[in-house]
Structures are given as C-alpha cells and as structure tokens.
C-alpha cells in the first residue's frame, strides 16, 4: 500500500510523520466514540434481550442471566458469553420459566431463536425468531403466521423415567395433521423453514431440558440477590 519500495528519492520522514499522525488521530477518535457509545449499546442490547425473554415467558417480570459452569451447574452472571440461560421470575420472585437461545440452519441462512421453557408445566411456552433471512412472503411466515406461533404456547417436552432424555422428540408435521402435544403444525409453503424450527427446538431441548431439571434449584434460588 505504501510506496516505500521506490528509490529513496522522496523524503521518508514526512511519510512517517503523516501516517503516524493520522493513525494517532484516528485511534483517539475511535476510542472516544467506542467508549462513549459502549454503555448505550450494552443497554440497548439488554433491553432487546429483556423484551424477547418476556415475550417467550409471558408471566415473567424480571430476568436473571445464568451461565452453565463446568457443564453441570448454573451460576448467575451479569455479562457472560458462551452457554447462557435467562431465567424469568414473576412479581413474587418465583421462577416461571427459562429462556434459551438456539440456532441452526434454515432454508436460506442460519436461523436463531429464543424459546421459553416452563419447568412446572414441562412444556415450551413461547418462541420468538431472533434473526432469519428466510424468503419474504414464504419462509418468513415462521415469524408472522399466528397459527404456527400458536404451536409454541404449549409444546410438550416431558422427560422419561431416566430423567436424561425427552420422552418424545419434538417434530414438525404437515399443516393440519398435529395430533400429539409434542408435534408442531407446519406451514404449507414454508415446509423447510418450519421443519428447521422444529429441528432447532428438538436438538436444543434434548440438551437443555435434562440439565435444567437436574439443577433447577440453582435457578430458583440463585436469582434472588443477583441484580439483573
């Protein structure tokens, strides 16, 4: 990029001076803006997450985020990365459910979603697509079709006797043929997208539900004193 390979006819010092000068100026500008906007962006993200959590857990009024530690217990965190759960509490500080993020391949690109699991009812109680690039008008019905979204108001994810696997894996069936509580009524015209949602939920719930049930007390008690 710099033309320093030329014979040393042009003076080198002004080049260094200007490049370093501009570099420093730019660095100062960027750091100032980054520092100024960081708290606002963090607050925006937290608010967006909060809204999504309260959508998939209709009864929740407060959210506490937990991280999975050592693959076996949950600890409250304020800003973590990796495997995170969002526990929702109602006004009396009772755990009403756990919101889990999941993702996978859709029809056009990856889909990411958030779903709410209620340990008391042993069902999924809500689902919201966070990002998807599904075909407008067809595949994006997974975000807008009310009949489809109604599937996730009560989707059975009961565990079997061993407590480590689901009794029935979530599956997507053809539109209008849903007969069992663990089935999702698909969308005609968005078959692959609605099946993708089913597969994402099935894989994620098979992993998380046993973990959550085994360590439910971490979530129930952990949230009281930790500030969201």
Partner 1 sequence: MNGESLWSIFVNAALVNNFVLAYFLGICPFLGVSAKLETAVRMGGAVMFVMLVSSVCAYGINLVLLAIGAPFLKLISFIVVIASTVQLVEMFIKKTSPTLFRALGIFLPLITTNCAILGLALFQTNKGYDFGQAIVYALGAGAGFALALILMAGVREKLELASMPNAVQGTAVALLVAGILSLAFMGFAGLGA
Partner 2 sequence: MPLPDLPPTTPTDEFVKGLWRENPVFVQVLGMCPVLAVSNSAVNALAMGLATTFVMLMSNLLVSSLRNFIPKQVRIASYILIIATFVTIVDYVIAAISLELYNALGAFISLIVVNCLILGRAEAFASKHGIGMAALDALGMGIGFTVALLCLGGVREILGSGSLFGVALFPEAFQPWVVMILPGGGFFTLAGWLLLINYLKERREAASVMLQETPE
Q: Please, are residues 35 and 41 in contact by the beta-carbon 8 Å criterion?
A: no
Residue with tokens 């710099």: 2
Structure tokens at 96: 């009403």
Is position 161 an interface residue for partner 2 (rule: CB under 8 A)? no
Q: Please, are residues 153 and 80 in contact by the beta-carbon 8 Å criterion?
A: no
**Widest CA span in the chain:** 83
Give the footprint of partner 2 on residues 22-41 (CB under 8 A).
Answer: 22-23, 26, 29-30, 33-34, 37-38, 40-41
- Binds 106, which of partner 1, partner 2, none (CB < 5 to 8 A, cut-off by type)? partner 1
Structure tokens at 12: 């080198």
- Binds 109, which of partner 1, partner 2, none (CB < 5 to 8 A, cut-off by type)? partner 1
Closest CB 118 distance from partner 1, rounded Å: 27
Residue 26 or 42 having the CB closest to partner 1: 26
DSSP string, 169-190: --EEE-TT---STTEEE--TT-
**What are the CB-based long-range contacts (under 8 Å, 24+) for 204-207?**
204/100, 204/102, 204/115, 205/115, 205/117, 205/124, 205/157, 205/166, 205/170, 206/165, 206/166, 206/169
Binding partner 1 (rule: CB under 8 A), the pick from 12, 22, 24, 26 is: 26
- Binds 10, which of partner 1, partner 2, none (CB < 5 to 8 A, cut-off by type)? partner 2
Which residues would be at the binding site for partner 1 (CB under 8 A)? 1, 26, 30-31, 34, 105-110, 133, 135, 192, 196
Task: List residues binding partner 2 (CB under 8 A).
Answer: 1-4, 6, 10-11, 14-15, 18-19, 21-23, 26, 29-30, 33-34, 37-38, 40-41, 44-45, 48, 131, 135-138
């Amino acid at each position: 990029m710099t033309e320093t390979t030329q014979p040393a006819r042009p003076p080198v010092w002004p080049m260094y001076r200007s490049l370093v000068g501009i570099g420093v100026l730019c660095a100062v500008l960027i750091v100032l803006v980054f520092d100024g906007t960081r708290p606002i962006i963090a607050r925006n993200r937290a608010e967006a997450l909060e809204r999504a959590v309260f959508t998939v857990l209709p009864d929740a009024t407060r959210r506490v985020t937990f991280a999975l530690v050592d693959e076996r217990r949950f600890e409250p965190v304020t800003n973590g990365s990796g495997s995170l759960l969002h526990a929702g509490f109602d006004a009396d500080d009772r755990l009403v459910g756990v919101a889990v993020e999941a993702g996978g391949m859709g029809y056009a690109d990856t889909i990411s979603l958030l779903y709410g699991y209620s340990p008391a009812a042993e069902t999924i109680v809500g689902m919201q697509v966070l990002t998807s690039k599904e075909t407008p008008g067809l595949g994006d019905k997974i975000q807008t079709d009310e009949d489809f979204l109604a599937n996730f108001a009560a989707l059975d994810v009961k565990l079997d006797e061993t407590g480590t696997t689901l009794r029935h894996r979530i599956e997507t069936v053809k539109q209008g043929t849903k007969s069992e509580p663990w089935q999702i009524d698909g969308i005609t015209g968005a078959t692959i997208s609605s099946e993708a949602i089913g597969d994402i939920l099935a894989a994620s719930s098979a992993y998380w539900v046993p973990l959550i049930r085994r360590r439910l007390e971490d979530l129930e008690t952990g949230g009281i004193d930790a500030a969201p």
